[in-house]
């Protein structure tokens, strides 16, 4: 089947992947969008997995100030080489991530960073709800797993839907950049300040 430029553009908007990658994925998937998205995700994830052991000592820190100085964000994004760190795509990504943090207010970069005590408290709340709802105990674990997944989507930057394209997560956005640059890229840390917020 003919893969039109409109199809490629639509897939690019949905996934954030490069034009050539989108065209290739649509060709492999014979025009099936869902299969093409899966194909791109596998490519991005496998590229990310291959690069994950590479040291990331270079990168950039971006800031974003919102609401006339009422919210401020700093994000550190790391990569392997100074060459990639200076590219427009990389700098645009770290700026987008700073804007995303300002808007979505994550608490952690990824689920592994959530303290065990916080997770236990969440699980305890879920168990209390399940007792209240009189759910059978044998399905608790499955329900708690689903609730935790939702919790990660709320509080972890990597699991949140990207504000500029809610079809993908921040993790997928970074994986797409890994596939594009051929380098390991990781969000190292972020800090978000809101005027007048309580200091912990």
The verdict on residue 25 lying in a domain is: yes
Give the H/E segment covering residue 78: strand 71-79
Number of domains in the chain: 3
103 in the same domain as 11: no
CB half-sphere exposure, 8, CA atoms < 13 A: 13
**6-10, 64-68, 91-95: which is most confident:** 91-95
Q: How many CB atoms lie within 10 A of CB 128?
A: 10
How open is the CA angle 114-120-124, to the nearest 5 degrees?
140
Nearest partner of 61 among 47, 46, 74, judged by Cα: 74
In a domain, 22, yes or no: yes
Query: pLDDT (tens digit, 9 = 90+) per residue, 33-60?
Result: 888 888 777 776 555 555 555 667 899 9
> Does 18 share its domain with 101?
no
Mean pLDDT across the stretch 152-181?
93
On whether both 35 and 134 belong to a single domain, the answer is no
Asked if 144 and 180 sit in the same domain, the reply is: no
169 shares a domain with 97: yes
What is the rounded distance in angstroms from the CA atom of residue 29 to the CA atom of residue 37? 9
**What was the pLDDT predicted at 54?**
63
Residues 170 and 181 in one domain: yes
pLDDT reported for residue 46: 53
The pLDDT, as a whole number, for residue 144 is: 93
Q: Is the pTM of this model over 0.75?
A: no
The CATH code of the domain that includes 177 is 3.30.479.20
pLDDT-derived band of residue 166, with 50, 70 and 90 as boundaries? very high
- The mean pLDDT of the chain is 88
Q: Can you give the pLDDT at residue 105? A: 96
Q: What one-character DSSP code corresponds to residue 193?
A: E
Supply the CATH number for residue 139's domain: 1.10.286
105 & 121 share domain = no
In a domain, 199, yes or no: no
- Please indicate whether residue 179 or residue 63 has the higher confidence score (pLDDT): 63
pLDDT value for 12 = 76
DSSP state, residue 30: T
pLDDT band at 21 (very low <50, low <70, confident <90, very high): confident
Picking from 14, 34, 51, the residue at the C-terminal end of a domain is 51
69 with 142, same domain: the answer is no
Model confidence at 142, pLDDT cuts 50, 70, 90, reads very high
* Domain interval for residue 22: 5-51
């Amino acid at each position: 089947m003919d893969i039109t430029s409109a199809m490629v553009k639509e897939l690019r908007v949905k996934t954030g992947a490069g034009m050539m990658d989108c065209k290739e994925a649509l060709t492999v998937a014979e025009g099936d969008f869902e299969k093409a998205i899966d194909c791109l995700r596998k490519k991005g994830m496998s590229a990310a997995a291959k690069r994950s052991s590479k040291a990331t000592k270079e990168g950039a820190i971006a800031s974003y100030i919102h609401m006339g100085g009422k919210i401020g964000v700093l994000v550190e994004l790391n990569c392997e080489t100074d060459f990639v760190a200076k590219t427009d795509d990389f700098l645009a990504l770290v700026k987008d991530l700073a804007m995303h943090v300002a808007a979505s207010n994550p608490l952690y970069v990824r689920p592994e960073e959530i303290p065990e005590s916080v997770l236990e408290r969440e699980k305890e709340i879920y168990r209390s709800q399940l007792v209240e709802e009189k759910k059978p105990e044998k399905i608790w674990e499955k329900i708690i797993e689903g609730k935790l997944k939702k919790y990660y989507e709320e509080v972890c930057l990597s699991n949140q839907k990207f504000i500029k394209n809610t079809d993908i997560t921040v993790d997928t956005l970074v994986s797409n950049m890994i596939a594009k640059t051929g380098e390991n890229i990781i969000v190292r840390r972020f800090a978000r300040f809101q005027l007048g917020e309580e200091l912990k």
